[in-house]
Amino acid sequence: MDSAEPAAGSPAADADEHLVRELEKVAVALGRMFPGLCEVVLHDLRDPRRTVRAIENNLSGRQIGDSATELGLARIADPRYPSVVQNYPNRFPDGRPAKSTSIGIRNSAGDYIAALCLNLDVSVLSPVTLALSQLVATDTGHPDEPLESLRHRNARALREAVEAGAAERGGTPRSLGRDGKRELVRQLHRDGWFDSRDAAQTIADLLGVSRATVYNYTK
């Protein structure tokens, strides 16, 4: 890299080479975790003319021994360059969009000696994302009208709903004022809690009002 680069065969150079070799295992393992989806490239920044040391899931068409990218050259030139540049937009040579992350690897002296780069082919994921969004989308044509709930409407669940509704209004079921109780009853009615036979009486007991009052509050 420069005059500070450890001499070949020195303990420092051997340590750098060992670190890069260990990173090769990481690159291969990551690539095989996401076959056909994420390209993983290990750059050896000690020689900018031949930085590509390993490539798994080759989506960009590069080869072992190819030269550094602009980002790699920036790291070689400036040791203050960020260690991690994450989730930046990129493109493969054929125009496919990619999302990339580059992780700079420093040796014990603080010099960049390698970079592990992940390039995710988002063109593969876009149709999947669209299909999933369509699958989970709901549209009944009546957004203001609740249709049903799959909850089991037992007395315990109803009590919890009343207590939660009261807490949202800053009190307990019995401590709420008249307006607060009316709002709570109307909310319970909109949410379908009156479908069960004894719901009105249960709500009345919790609020400390009569059953008739509860029905009046729903109007």
Convert the pLDDT of each residue in 16-59 to its tens digit.
Answer: 999 999 999 999 999 999 998 999 999 999 998 999 999 999 99
Asked if 64 and 53 touch (Cβ cutoff 8 Å), the reply is yes
Q: Which residues contact 153 (CB under 8 A, 6 or more apart)?
A: 192, 193, 195, 196, 199
Q: What is the mean pLDDT of the segment spanning 63-70? A: 92
Distance spanning both ends of the chain, measured CA to CA:
80
Check residue 191 and give its pLDDT: 85
Q: How far apart are CA 190 and CA 184, in angstroms?
A: 10
Q: How far apart are CA 124 and CA 72, in angstroms?
A: 26
> Which pLDDT band, with edges at 50, 70 and 90, does 1 fall under?
very low
CA angle, corner 172, sides to 168 and 174, nearest 5? Answer: 130
Asked if 38 and 31 touch (Cβ cutoff 8 Å), the reply is yes
Q: Report the range out of 21-30, 77-86, 136-145, 207-216 with the highest average pLDDT.
A: 21-30
> Which pLDDT band, with edges at 50, 70 and 90, does 2 fall under?
very low
**Chain mean pLDDT for the chain:** 86
Q: What is the mean pLDDT of the segment spanning 75-98? A: 91
Closest CA to 162 of 209, 113, 123, 130: 209
Helix (H, G, I), strand (E, B) or coil at 6: coil
The answer to whether the predicted template modeling score (pTM) of the entire model surpasses 0.75 is no
Check residue 3 and give its pLDDT: 41
Asked if 189 and 214 touch (Cβ cutoff 8 Å), the reply is no
